[in-house]
Amino acid sequence: MGDIKAGKVEARPSPKVSDEVRQTTCYMCACRCGINVHLQDGKVKYIEGNKDHPVNKGVLCAKGSAGIMQHYSPARLQAPMKRVGPRGSGEFEEISWDEAYDIAEGWLKPLRDTAPEKLAFFTGRDQSQSFTSFWAQGFGTPNYAAHGGFCSVNMAAAGIYTMGGAFWEFGQPDWDRAKLFMIFGVAEDHDSNPIKAGLGRLKANGGKVIGVNPIRSGYNAIADEWIGITPGTDGLFILSIIHELLRAGKVDLNYLCRYTNAGFLVSTDEGAADFGLFLRGDDDKALVLDRATGKAVAFDTPGINPDLAGHLRQGGTTYRPAFQLLAEKYMDGAYAPEEVAERCGLTAQKIRAVAAELARVAFEEEIVLDQPWTDWKGEKHDKMIGRPVSFHAMRGISAHSNGFQTCRALHILQILLGSVEVPGGFRFKPPYPKPPEAHPKPHDMNGPGQPMKGPHLGYPMGPEDLLVEGDGTPKRIDKAFSWENPFSVHGMMHMVISNAHAGDPYKIDTLFLYMANMAWNSSMNTSEVMRMLTDKDDNGDYVIPHIIYSDAYSSETVAYADLILPDTTYLERHDCISMLDRPICEADAAADAIRWPVVEPDRNVKGFQSALCDLGARLGLPGFVNEDGSQKYADYADYIVNHERRPGVGPLGGFRGEDGTGEGRGSVNPEQLNRYIENGGFWHTQVPDDASYYKPWNAGYQDWAVKIGLFDKPQPYVFNLYLEPMRKMQRAAEGHGDVQPPDNMRERVKAAFTPLPEWSQPFEDAAVDHDEYPVHALTQRPMHMYHSWGSQNAWLRQITNVNRLYIPGKIWDEKGFEEGDWAHVSSVHGKIKVPVARMDALNPNTVWTWNAIGKKRGAWALSEDAPEATKGFLLNHLINELLPEKGDGQRWANSDPVTGQAAWFDLRVRIEKAPPGGPSEPAHKASKSHIGQGPKDMAYGEEF
């Protein structure tokens, strides 16, 4: 190494920090914190959190602090490339952007003109989905989605359908007022800094944390109470808590009457034509019983109190309030703690104690704020009443085949306690709350050369909204919005490659992927997916003819593509974190943010969204060309500033209008990006005090939301305890209506679409022999790494570069494992060899490992003997996107039957001691690194 600068070795009190600080938005994960990037001599010297930023308020996690190593990663792609060796070999030739666009246009133009559905465009961990979806709509293919289907769609869909918002991007605990916080399952990787900060504040205020998770790590390590539940049984546990609360009358009846559909009258006679549907008035509004008059009136009639205890006989049919059906169902002995405890891996007493503690804090530690507000019916209230119990969950309860109903059950628990949108409870972040009716519905294609009829993804409200042919055949390549998974509101990216390979429901021509490591950790059944991507037909042509991929780094998937569009690092690009998309708002503020090139790329790379602007113009896509056919947006920055989704509403809400004072609404401001940069890279505007809680029913909030352009007229609504769209799907399965499921789907739809959540055994759990596969297997992501990105990071990979399979003490002892041992792990689908370690703070029937540490040899600019490749492993090899054959001639997806969410966490395995020593298996052959390997030794910062 060179000599370090004189003076640097003195402990001087006030050395220069940097030449300049530029403020942008982090992208080391999806948390989107504000960062101060310190530059010296044009290089990135130090990255810290931005103290003014609404998301992180100055703090920064390990990933964010390691941004320098990501930005200067040796795995960065250098230029566009075309494949010159066979797929998977990693042999590429660098080409110009012009040639890359020529190739892409040559494949895509004929598809658009003849069969746009033959383009499947899927965009992984995309934070620009309102833009990429706009592009795909212009192209006219119905086959677009991002990665929600294999991530946490159950959580998002159950939240929107039940209460108009879910966790993370949709809402947050009222950290400053909550006194009890209950967190379910793997949740460390989303909203990561706000949750850590919130836990710290909650604890400083004397609040308690209950962690429900088979694994006691991360947030569960600091939980005051640990519930080491058996995977896949969270729904049963929650419904048992509800059983206890109902029996004790510990529910917030006032809240239920006012803000939910508890009072909606449901037809309860099995023979009735409207069985299970709401009684509706002439204007189609659902009716409730007015407690004062005993008459059925529209639910939103001012001044009425719905009678939850009565019933109505009308036209020979009995109608009962939805709450009675709910109480009857969950007060049943089947949900008693002693009935469910063993399946949950808990004691009945523990379930009773948790229920009692929730009730105690919710009702005995009530919060009263002297804050007047006016509700949607015009009634004035002089106080805000709070129930200081809050919840959070993410992929842990979501990634099961019973996840949708489990997430629904959790929201119903929150609602019964009266703890949603109240002080101390769970609070929505603008633009949420937003009920399912206010979301788009899924849209179909128009035909060759035409844009789509509307947005691809949406919220079906009944069978008529599905995307199926007359005979029930799915219209989309991923089979989203089909009878197999009708409410697949995020699409089903995990099914795209296998369906395209099988030509089921049809063959495609071009697979276009962005930022999704589908040839590795983002796919179930990884080895098989690599085979599908390289498989050839009888003519010697690839079964999936063309693959275009955009990534910033040399990930595993690069080797499987024919054409590579190299993206930039997050410090070199424009982005908008938009309220049209995946917002970063806080419960008290609407907010959005930008990224901008705080350093310019030193390679021939381009932000993917800018490449889409170019490609969209070449293809003549509506929205991407001017009337004279010329290119409309020079690049993504141009789009961010000048695109308007509705008049006066664009990707960014801040500094709109000619003078830059418009908030939410306003004409295009050419100076908008500069104003964001001056403001620290973000914009935010406070929710008024009288609008801060009760948002779905608060006239002050509704008016404010209209003012800033979140929606165009007030849209108050009530929460759905009873979810009528589910019942509509069941009714179709029973034979009612024009849109009918195929006969072999009827029983499945009837069972899955109960309008009140029921717990069902996860599919794999039910399908495999528990003696042969006795143990549950899970993954989670370390807080200091995000997906596969961490392993190219010289600092983060020193913290974790090998993942071991953690085995509970009892199994460890039974099998005679010792430190340093290896094991064979088998599922009904495959077998892997992995290093093991003992862990006692773990459910006794569960094993687990860190996700996406294992790497394929030759990827990420790592040496081929890197521990990530020789000892790291993926559990993905044991998980199939299809369930084992049942002998009914069908291969059912290993997904939630409601939403299509990939059921990663249903996995069951067998563990056996393996011969000592590595490498981990399967040991895939290396792809040639087209990028070389990173430097040997480093001393970053010696030049400063």
Partner 1 sequence: MTALPEAADKKLGLVIDLDTCVGCHACVVNCKEWNTSNYGNPLSDIDAYGAEPEGTFLNRVHAFEVTPDTGGCAQTIHFPKSCLHCEDAPCVTVCPTGASYKRVEDGIVLVNENDCMGCGLCAWACPYGARELDALAGIMKKCTLCVDRIYNENLPEEDREPACVRTCPAGARHFGDLGDPSSDVSKLVAEREGMDLMPEMGTKPVNKYLPPRQKDTLLADMALTPKSEEPKGFLAWLDKALEAL
Binding to partner 1 (CB under 8 A): which residues in 319-358?
Answer: 324, 327-328, 331, 349-350, 352-357
Residue 524's nearest CA partner among 148, 892, 910, 882 is: 882
- Positions in 359-388 near partner 1 (CB under 8 A): 359
Which residue, 318 or 527, has its beta carbon nearer to partner 1?
318
Instruction: For the CB of residue 617, give the shortest distance to partner 1 in the complex, in Å.
Output: 39
Which residue, 99 or 225, has its beta carbon nearer to partner 1?
225
Instruction: For the CB of residue 790, give the shortest distance to partner 1 in the complex, in Å.
Output: 11
Segment interacting with partner 1 (CB under 8 A) among 98-106, 214-222, 614-622, 757-765:
214-222
Q: Is 941 near partner 1 (CB under 8 A)?
A: yes
Which residue, 362 or 467, has its beta carbon nearer to partner 1?
362
Spatial neighbors of 554 by CB under 8 A, at least 6 apart, are 75, 76, 77, 792, 859, 860, 861, 929, 930, 931
Strands (E), 146-285: 171-173, 180-184, 208-212, 225-227, 265-267
Please identify which residue in 103, 589, 739, 799 interacts with partner 1, judged by CB under 8 A: 799
Which residue, 379 or 537, has its beta carbon nearer to partner 1?
379
Q: How many residues bind partner 1 (CB under 8 A)?
A: 114
Handedness of CA 553, 554, 556, 559 (dihedral sign): positive
| Phi, psi (degrees; rounded to nearest 5) at 270 | -55, -35
Instruction: For the CB of residue 522, give the shortest distance to partner 1 in the complex, in Å.
Output: 22
Which residue, 593 or 931, has its beta carbon nearer to partner 1?
931
Residue length of the chain: 944
Instruction: For the CB of residue 591, give the shortest distance to partner 1 in the complex, in Å.
Output: 19
Q: Is 197 near partner 1 (CB under 8 A)?
A: yes
Q: What is the DSSP string of 115-169?
A: -GGGEEEE-TT-S-HHHHHHHHHHHT-S-EE-GGGGTTHHHHHHHHHHHS--STT
**In 10 A of CB 590, how many CB atoms?**
27
- Positions in 69-128 near partner 1 (CB under 8 A): 74
**In 10 A of CB 356, how many CB atoms?**
15
Spatial neighbors of 826 by CB under 8 A, at least 6 apart, are 773, 832, 878, 909, 910, 912
Q: How far apart are CA 757 and CA 751, in angstroms?
A: 11
Segment interacting with partner 1 (CB under 8 A) among 8-16, 438-446, 766-774, 819-827:
8-16
Instruction: For the CB of residue 718, give the shortest distance to partner 1 in the complex, in Å.
Output: 17
Please identify which residue in 24, 123, 217, 851 interacts with partner 1, judged by CB under 8 A: 217
Instruction: For the CB of residue 732, give the shortest distance to partner 1 in the complex, in Å.
Output: 30
**In 10 A of CB 177, how many CB atoms?**
20
- Positions in 245-274 near partner 1 (CB under 8 A): 245-250, 253-254, 257
- Positions in 747-786 near partner 1 (CB under 8 A): 783-784
Q: Do 276 and 253 touch, CB atoms closer than 8 A? A: no
Which residue, 179 or 441, has its beta carbon nearer to partner 1?
179
Which residue, 307 or 592, has its beta carbon nearer to partner 1?
307
- Positions in 803-842 near partner 1 (CB under 8 A): 809, 839-842
Q: Do β-strands 389-393 and 908-913 pair in parallel, antiparallel, or remain unpaired?
A: unpaired
Residue 511's nearest CA partner among 489, 555, 542, 471 is: 542
Q: Do 552 and 566 touch, CB atoms closer than 8 A? A: yes
Which residue, 60 or 524, has its beta carbon nearer to partner 1?
60
Q: Is 212 near partner 1 (CB under 8 A)?
A: no
Please identify which residue in 200, 448, 503, 714 interacts with partner 1, judged by CB under 8 A: 200
Instruction: For the CB of residue 603, give the shortest distance to partner 1 in the complex, in Å.
Output: 18
Burial (CB < 10 A; 0-12, 13-18, 19+), residue 540, is exposed
Structure tokens given for 38: 């310190």
Which residue, 329 or 400, has its beta carbon nearer to partner 1?
329
Burial 202-212 (b: 16+ CB within 10 A, else e): beeeebbbbbb
**In 10 A of CB 27, how many CB atoms?**
26
- Positions in 835-894 near partner 1 (CB under 8 A): 839-842, 861-863, 865-867, 870
Site string for partner 1, 606-625 (x = CB under 8 A): --------------------
Segment interacting with partner 1 (CB under 8 A) among 189-197, 295-303, 512-520, 568-576:
189-197
Q: Considering all CA atoms of the chain, what is the largest pairwise distance in Å, rounded to the nearest integer?
A: 94
Which residue, 202 or 637, has its beta carbon nearer to partner 1?
202
Q: How far apart are CA 398 and CA 150, in angstroms?
A: 10
Q: Is 506 near partner 1 (CB under 8 A)?
A: no
Instruction: For the CB of residue 786, give the shortest distance to partner 1 in the complex, in Å.
Output: 12
Please identify which residue in 82, 280, 291, 453 interacts with partner 1, judged by CB under 8 A: 291
From first CA to last CA, the distance across the chain in angstroms is 14
Please identify which residue in 91, 99, 105, 225 interacts with partner 1, judged by CB under 8 A: 225
Q: How far apart are CA 855 and CA 588, in angstroms?
A: 41
Q: Is 313 near partner 1 (CB under 8 A)?
A: no
